[in-house]
Every structure is written in C-alpha cells, then in structure tokens.
Chains A and B, each alone.
Chain A
Amino acid sequence: MHELPQQLVNGLLLGSMYGLIAIGYTMVYGIVQLINFAHGEIFMVGGFGALTVWLWLPGGTTMWVAIPLMIIGAVIVSTTVAVGAERFAYRPLRGAPRLAPLITAIGLSLALQQAVWAWYPNAKSSRTFPEIPGDSIHIGSVTIQPGDLFLVVAAPICMFALGWFVMKTRVGRGMQATAQDPDTAKLMGVNTDRVIVVAFALGAAFAGIAAVAYGFRYGEVNFRMGFLWGLKAFTAAVLGGIGNIYGAMIGGLVLGIAEAMATAYMNDIPGMDKLGGQSWADVWAFVLLIVVLLVRPQGLLGERVADRA
C-alpha cells in the first residue's frame, strides 16, 4: 500500500484532464441537449494549435514565455473550430430532430481528424511536443513530474473561473436561464443564440487548455488522440451528471482515480490476477459507470435525468 498516495495523485491528474474536456460536453448538453461528439476533435486541434505556436517561436524561447503563448494558440484554434462548427453545422439544424445534429457531430469529428491527418505537416504519425524543463518534485513518497505541473496549476484555476463565470456574470446567468427553459429565457430578453455560442466557445477553450496539458504530460500530440479522450471525457460527464458543470469535474476525477486504482490494485485481489492492469482499467471505468447509473440514473451530481438525446 506504500504506493497509494502516488497512485491517487496519478488518478487525480488523469481525472482533471478528463474533467477539463468533460466540461465542453456537459455545457453544450445542458443548453442545447446535443451530445457534441466532435468535442474530442476540438481538444485534438487545440493540441496542434499549441504545437504550431511552439514551432513558430524562435529557437531559444524560454518556457515561461512560450507556455502562455501556446495556451493562447490552443484556445484560439479550439474556439474558432468550435464556434465555426456551431455556426455552420449545428445552428442550421437547431429545429431538426435530435438524431440529425448527433450524426452531424460524428461526421464533423471524422472530418476534423482527417483534415489534420491530411494537411498538418507530418501529422500522419505522432508529433513531438516540447518538454517543460526541470526536475521532478518530491513530496513524501509522491513524485510530481515537471510536465504535470502545468495541469496541477491550470485545472483548479479553470474550475474556479468557470464557477465564477456561470454564477456571477450576466452571460453566465443567461446560460443558466437558457438551460432551464430556452423559450422563456428568450422572452426574458436573453440572447439565446449568443449564449449557445458562448457555451461552445467556453467548452472549447477548456479543451484547448486540456490539450496543452496533454502535450506536456505525454510529450506528443497525434490526430487520433481526440477519439479515446473524448469518449472518456463524455463518460466522465455522464458519470457526474450530464448538464452539471461541477458534475463533469467530479465525474472526471472519479473516473481517473478509478482507472489508476484498477491498474494498481486489481491484480492483487485473489482470483482477479487476469482481470487487472492497465489494459483492463477502461473496463473497470465503464463498470463503475454502469453501477453509478443503476443506482443514480441522473449521475453523481445530476439535477435531472438525461431523458433526451
């Protein structure tokens, strides 16, 4: 059990990345009841946006200058793609049956993947991402790697900023109103079109930041990374209660910790030696999802049942 603290930290780090991406799913769902399956790809293009900025910067740029610029690059690319997708792919289908935008989302996801594959230089295999220099930090038996520091700092800041935005600002309250009842919100003078665009943009911005964190943690970005991570983040959003932004974060953390625990300890349970390890972590994550949904169909923090979509 001496590795428990480290495994908890591993799980928390993984989970905060799931959470950051999950916010995009949950906000869009909360407002327009659309499961935006292209969100994983919006995360992916953010990673390539950050990489592009890094490649443009002159050789000797220090990380302290590069990181903010890379975040800006990632966020700009992600939000541009997301807002463009909303404007040209989803808005024309606003009144259409639920399945139409869903299928559009899947098509968009494939299109974005192939676009990066085809047009980004050398993106047909993994592109290496810059490293944050420095030594690992040791706190007791826990090691935090320099590449993770970005995530350790960025994830809580993002969460608090989002909470403040939704609760305290005019646009944020407009979002809450639109989520509760779009028609009435419109009658009360809320510009729902703008609220929807903001929801897409905010979700994409967090996905962009998550993509920068991904690059620093794993040292590479690739055109396929959006699929698996998008799927996991969607799971996190459902686990926490889709439509609830705190639920997305909690769901992400629970999922991340569950995966780390399954990898670390499932093998040690007698009779389970064949069903443990990292390759089974996904299975246990989904078992957890099923169990939670059986007991609490609305998700951990969900306020309402995901009845539509």
Chain B
Amino acid sequence: MRQRSLIAITAALTAGALTLTACGSRDDSKDKDDAGGGGTTVVIGVDAPLTGDLSALGLGIRNSVDLAVKQANKKKYVDGITFKMESADDQGQPSSGQTNATKFVANKDILGAVGPLNSSVGESMQKVFDDAKLVQVSPANTNPAMTQGPDWNGGKKTRPYKAYFRTATTDAIQGPFAAQYLYNKAKKKKVFVIDDKKTYGAGLAATFKDEFTKLGGKVAGTEHVNPDTKDFGAVATKIRNSDADVVYYGGEYPAAGPLSKQMKKAGAKIPLVGGDGIYSADYIKLSGKDGKGDYATSVGQPVEQLPSAKEFIANYKEAGYKEAYEAYGGYSYDSAWAIIEAVKKVVEDNDGKLPSDARAKIVDAMQDVSFDGVTGKVSFDEYGDATNKQLTVYQVKDTADPAKGWKPVESGTFTG
C-alpha cells in the first residue's frame, strides 16, 4: 500500500515537473520568436473594483486604461511593441487585490499594472509588486503612508516601495485643502467628522480634522460608521442635535449618498463634504434632491476644463464605452501612458528590443518619466508621488441630471 502511494506521488511529481518545464520552454521560444519578428506583446494589468458598490469608478479606470492601450497601438507609439490590457476585479477587497497582484506577477507578459482604486487594496498589493519589481501606478490611492512611510506625519518620510507610483495627490494635501476652503471661503466653523474606518476614509478625515482645528474651527462631534449598512438614522439624529454647520465624511459614495439623504431628512440641513471618493455621479443618484449643496474635493483640475484633456474626452466618446470615465479616468489614462512611456524608454535604450530584466528596468525608467498628459504635466517625485498637486472643490448644483450635477467651484494648489 505504502509503496503504491509512493509510486503515485512520484508519478504526480514527475508529471508536474514535466508540465512546468514544458511551460518554460514554450515561453522561451515565444520570447525568441517575438524578438526576431518584432511583434512583442506587452500587457498592462488593470486592477479595480469592476463589480460591487464602487464599480462606477472602477469601470471608468478600466476603460481609460483600455483607451490608452488602444491609442498607443494605433499611433505605433513604441516600435515593435503591441500593448494589451488585462483587467482583474478586486471588488474593493484587499484580499482579492492581493490575489490579482500575484496573478499579474505570474504572467510574464505583464510589465506594468494600473490600479487599484482603494488605498486599503493598494496596501495589500504593494509588497507583491515590489518583490517582483513590477511597476504599479495607481490613479486613485490617496493615503500618504503608501509612498511616504508610516511616519510621514512626524516629518520622517521614507519610501517603502520603489515599484509603487501614483498619479493621484494624497490625503495629506486633500484633507487640509478642504479644511482651508471650508473655513476661509465657505465660513464654516463647526464640523461633525465621520469616517468609515477604512485606510482611505480614516486617513482623509484625520488630515482634515487636524487642519480645520489648526485654523481655529471647532469639532462638534466625531463618528465612525460601517459603510455596509445603509442605516444612518441614529448618526443622523446625533448630527441634528449637535451644533455643527458642516459634516465632513471620510469615505466613499455608496455610504456617503444615503448618509447625506438621511441626515437632511432627519432635519440637519447642513452640507456634507467629502474627498474624491464621493465625487461621482452615483453620489447624486443616491443622495437625490438632498445632495444639493454638498461639496467634494478631487485631485487635479476638472478634466473638462483642461485643454490637454479635450483629445481624451473625444477619443473616449468615440470608443463608445458604456460607462463614464468618472473621477479617475484622466488619471488612469495618464497612469497607463506613464507605463507606456517607460516601456518605450527601456526598449529604445536596448536597441528596440525588450531586455531580459524588463520589469526592473521599467521601474527605474518610471522615476524619470515626464510627459504632458490628460491631467497636466505627469512626473513623479522621489517618493513616487505625482508632482502635480492641483486640487479642485466641486459642489452639487443640480440633481436632475446626476452626470452633470457636480460643478467646479474653485481650483488651487495646496501650499502648506
């Protein structure tokens, strides 16, 4: 009996080993063929929530990367290289994100990844990508610790992962920017701060609160909510009975929309303010008429107002995607384009061929990428953060047509 099982195990191991070598040799031969024929395929992975609550933003990210890939192929931007997009769905869950990252790393053709949307998902992916020296560019992660280390607030900035870059600005800027606008321009003095305890929401709420109190504002109350239940009745009552004149919510639109609606129905007729996580047409759908007057900050200038974005918007329309590009479309396009630029540099430095250590070379090349993108000048500082630190305050002016409800109120650059 024992002998027979031993034979079985050996047989299985041999079969497994054979399969593995077979795979390896096939890959090798393909690489050689491609190098000779000049038709190498480079895959850019996209990880975003394509289903679930946050899919409106996630699908916008995927479509925009797809558009960048198609444009690069159409223009034959990198000689001899055909780009392809491969998308993976993380459903906003850190565990799914990590699985997807591992899958991307295992695919030899993938030389760069765009995504994810959520900071908490991004944190779970950083190490996987960094170990594999696979470059990752997030269009939407805003948690400062991801590029500047856990002690960024204490003045000791260290970059934890060399392969991680982002085109989005951080909460270290976004929260204080909202605080300055509310205190100085909108004349709000007492704030009720709520967050959803996720990496993004809690971080954003904390940076907002620090700056708001530093300016002289008062905190009328704080609350943490579970974004999965849509019942905020008890919280709404607390807000109504506090003397706050504005509510700041650190989190995303699936919870923020119902929260805004419920607190106003409960009698607290004060605006809700949030970060880029609530800057979505779906926020207006969920909050309905009650969303009117609410504010959101988002990274960069409004895409529609940038001359550089005209081409992007026109191409996006022409490509006929079913979903809108949403808040991160321009940043996703630029993220993908940054990878394409880095690939171009690496290929050109290597006489028009992909080097064998392409992934590591691309990470190095990414540091020096600089081009005029959809959202302005795209380049990265020593931490991998975008050098473009523009922000815009938006307000819900019109709830009849959610797609056009957010109107820019003020754009600016945050200065300390």
Contact = CB atoms under 8 A, between A and B. Distances in A.
Interface of A: 2-3, 6-7, 10-11, 13-14, 117, 124-126, 128, 131, 136, 143, 145-147, 214, 217-220, 222, 224-225, 228, 259-260, 263-264, 277-282
Given A6-B237, A124-B55, A278-B234, 14 more contacts: A6-B241, A125-B52, A126-B53, A126-B285, A128-B288, A145-B265, A146-B265, A147-B265, A225-B230, A263-B223, A277-B224, A278-B225, A278-B226, A279-B197
A236 B156 CA distance: 49
Nearest to B287: A219
Given A14-B231, A117-B51, A126-B254, A220 B226 contact: no
Interface string B245-284: 0000000001001100110011100000000000000100
A125 B282 contact: yes
Contacts of B232: 278
29 contacts: A3-B238, A6-B241, A6-B266, A7-B234, A7-B237, A125-B56, A125-B282, A126-B254, A136-B267, A146-B265, A147-B265, A217-B231, A218-B230, A218-B258, A219-B258, A219-B261, A219-B288, A220-B286, A224-B52, A263-B235, A277-B223, A277-B225, A278-B224, A278-B232, A278-B235, A279-B197, A279-B224, A280-B224, A281-B226
A162 B110 CA distance: 60
A224 to B, nearest CB: 7
Interface residues of B, number: 40
B265 to A, nearest CB: 4
A264 B224 contact: no
A278 B52 CA distance: 22
B229 A228 contact: yes
Contacts of A6: 237, 240-241, 266
Interface of B: 50-56, 196-197, 222-226, 228-235, 237-238, 240-241, 254, 257-258, 261-262, 265-267, 282, 285-289
Nearest to B238: A264
B333 to A, nearest CB: 22
Interface SS majority for chain A? helix
B286 A219 contact: yes
Contacts of B265: 136, 145-147
A257 B266 CA distance: 17
Contact of A10 (B197, B233, B254, B288): B233
Contacts of A282: 226, 229
Nearest to B54: A125
A220 B258 contact: yes
Nearest to B289: A131
Contact of A125 (B53, B230, B231, B258): B53
Nearest to A146: B265
A11 B235 CA distance: 11
Contacts of B262: 145, 218
Given A219-B261, A220-B286, A281 B266 contact: no
Given A147-B265, A278-B225, A278-B226, A263 B234 contact: yes
A143 B234 contact: no
Nearest to B266: A143
A214 B231 CA distance: 9
A10 B228 contact: no
B300 to A, nearest CB: 24
A7 B232 CA distance: 11
Contacts of B234: 7, 10-11, 259-260, 263-264, 278, 281
Nearest to B230: A218
A11 B53 CA distance: 26
